[in-house]
Chain A
Amino acid sequence: MKNLSVLTYLLKKLLRMVLTILLVTTIIFFLIRLMPSNPIDRYIEDQMVQYGISYAEAKNRAATLFSMDLDQPMYQQYFAYLGNVLRLDFGDSLLSPGVSVMEIIATRLPWTLFTVGGGLILSFIIGIVIGAVMAFKRDRWYEPIVTGIASFLSAIPDFLIAICLILIFGVVRWNGESTILPIAMMRGTYSMQMKPGWNTEFVLDVLMHGMIPILTYMLSQLGVWVLLMKTCTTSCLNTDYVTMAKIRGLSSGKVLFSYIGRNALLPITTEFFMRLGFIVGGALIIEQLFVYQGIGLELLRATNGRDYPMMQGIFLVMSIAIVVCNFLAEVLYAVLDPRIKAGGAAKNGK
């Protein structure tokens, strides 16, 4: 009986997720076609400017290059696209003819997951530790300073942090001779002369290149975790069950982990999983600033060239990630907090 209700809950959820993704896909399909210009015009313009050829000639080239017929009515294009997606065919990139969209995503996505995900996890771990400590040291002189810095970090946009880091590490010559890091060498995901592979040299090189982007993401997220953890811990500290646990003579370690930590982490875990969904989207501006070959940079390129299939592919992967992570957050919350039962959620969630 219990298993059955969990099963129906999961099925309902799954159906809803599929519907959400379908809706998002549809909206994106039409939105990107509503943008001014289209891939063929862009290509023709490009050719005319670059090679100084006539419009007719450029259009001829474009026609041989693009297999896509943009003169079809939009709904026909839409259903053709949907049909292809159901067959897991996401088409080829227009800007890199002959290369499938998924192939490009597969090569770009790991880099973004590495940097944005790494930054998120680092900021999460450091943030909750600092936040918890600050909750206990509320009466110390340094607490307002730390909280102030955290508020500041969470308020400024990430690209500003990135620019500051570039200035600090790569532009200003602190000792008058050289910068702290050879920032110009650190563009991209790894050095040109490197051969990808699982060897120390390559891993170190990748870490070197990913270092500043990861630091940027970490700093831009850190403040939020510190503030959130501090608030949650403080409110847990003042609860009756924590006082009661102390009166019951439980050891301070037990009180800290089973009573304070366990309860303080509830809302934070949810927040973490929801943010996890967003890492697939990357951070466009930062990847552009560091010329980091991640999914964000690819999306930027695709948007500039109106590479419809590429954009659709990236947005689809992004929306799937977000929907799935939200679902995970919900399930995890029900597992962690007995007050929210999966069965109850199914009843309320309809």
Chain B
Amino acid sequence: MTEKKPQLKVDQLSICYHTKRGDLKAVSQASFTIDQGQSVALIGESGCGKTTLATSIVDALPMAASVTSGRILYYQDQKEIDLLKLKRKDLRPLLWSEISMVFQASQSSFNPVRKIKTQFLDTVWAHDRSRSKEEILQRASELLRVVMLDPDKVLNAYPHELSGGMKQRTLIALALLLEPKLIILDEPTTALDLLTQEKILRLLKELKKEHGFSLLFITHDLGIVSELADKVVTMYAGKAVESAPVETFFRSAEHPYSRGLVDAIPRLTMDDREIVSIPGTPPDMIEQEIGCPFAPRCSRCLPVCKESIPESKPVPGGENWYCACWNPMSGGDACGNHR
């Protein structure tokens, strides 16, 4: 593990969508930390608030959503900045030069009527007017070569002339253009075939080693997690229920939900009846019941689970390991602490 200075700290963050039926709490009091140079995977079922959380970091929440409480702390040269308190004009210089993001929908992330070249130039000039066109294109070409694309062809192409995988890789190159300290990848490989997926993962690993940026990536694919992550944050119904180092996560996840996710991975050595899925469906996020949101689906549910929400606590004996559960997998410890 690298040095332990934090790069980004999400602290008790809550985000609401205002819908006709009422407020939908997409993220509720989620907390986790990304250290410098660390790669954090954010996992969980569809609709559990992963993307909402990630977009709130770069101030790209949809109009209907708003942050109701919490802080997002970003560390820039020892300085602690609360991104949520920044005005747009103060946040703008940080975006992309400090934090960049590769979107889930990278297929349509480029302006369809302008050449890729122009969009690279626009991005740099938005932050630094003094750099010359040649210099920027030179750098862009280098990065495009790194992601195994032909720079001359890509730079002079319009977005529709590139394939899906090419666009994805172009976007990764664009994300690296200003050498940010933190890159957010929202399902970076979902739209791609396995070979391209593999290529991009290997690429990200190498680039990370070379440039030393931090990575926050969202995925459903635990295979990618095992390959790329240093730390895994499990989200369930808008809450960060467990945060654990990657080996710990796969070996002995504490939260029953995390364990359920790990158990649902098919393995070569087992026959298909042994794949265990988690029964039930995620809860209604508008009319939330009291108690742990996972309780109705949990096999280790205790009476207390239906009465109050467990808080995130360090797991005894674990380092950088937090879990929010009344009755974690390792036994009655957390349970016994209660009342």
Contacts and interface: CB of A to CB of B under 8 A. Distances in A.
Contact of B95 (A139, A247, A263, A337): A247
A12 interface: no
B92 A249 contact: yes
Interface string A317-350: 0000000000000000000111100000000000
Contacts of B95: 246-249
A5 interface: no
B47 interface: no
Interface stretch (B7-15, B104-112, B261-269, B278-286): B104-112
B96 A247 contact: yes
B110 A254 contact: no
B101 interface: yes
Contact of A241 (B60, B94, B108, B115): B108
Interface string A224-253: 000000000000000111011111111110
Contact of B92 (A251, A258, A266): A251
A262 interface: yes
A43 B115 CA distance: 65
A240 B109 contact: yes
Contact of B109 (A244, A250, A263, A336): A244
A245 B63 contact: no
Given A248-B95, A251-B92, A254-B122, A339 B60 contact: no
Interface in B115-153: 115, 122-123, 126-127
B123 A249 contact: yes
A248 B96 contact: yes
Contacts of A245: 111, 122
B126 A249 contact: yes
A259 interface: yes
Contacts of B112: 241, 263, 337-339
A242 to B, nearest CB: 8
A247 B94 CA distance: 10
Contact of A250 (B58, B63, B113, B122): B122
A262 B108 contact: no
B160 interface: yes
B158 interface: yes
B122 A258 contact: yes
Contacts of A254: 122, 126
Interface residues of A, number: 25
Contacts, number: 78
A251 B108 contact: no
Contacts of A262: 111, 113-114
Interface residues of B, number: 31
B127 A249 contact: yes
B214 interface: no
A173 to B, nearest CB: 49
A336 B110 CA distance: 16
A100 B178 CA distance: 70
Contacts of B127: 249
B127 to A, nearest CB: 6
B126 A336 contact: no
B109 A338 contact: no
Contacts of A249: 92-97, 123, 126-127
Contacts of B17: none
Interface centre among B63, B93, B113, B160 (most CB of A within 10 A): B113
Nearest to A241: B111
A11 B105 CA distance: 41
A264 B44 CA distance: 36
B60 A259 contact: no
Nearest to A341: B158
A251 B127 CA distance: 9
A250 B110 contact: no
Contacts of A259: 111
Contact of B105 (A240, A251, A258): A240
B103 interface: yes
A266 B113 CA distance: 10
B111 A258 contact: yes
A59 to B, nearest CB: 66
A337 B113 contact: yes
Contacts of A138: 63
Contacts of A338: 112-113, 115, 158, 160
The 5 A-B pairs with the shortest beta carbon distances in the complex, nearest first, are A249-B95, A244-B109, A240-B108, A249-B96, A338-B158
15 contacts: A139-B63, A239-B108, A240-B105, A243-B60, A247-B96, A248-B96, A248-B126, A249-B93, A249-B97, A254-B126, A259-B111, A262-B111, A336-B113, A339-B112, A339-B158
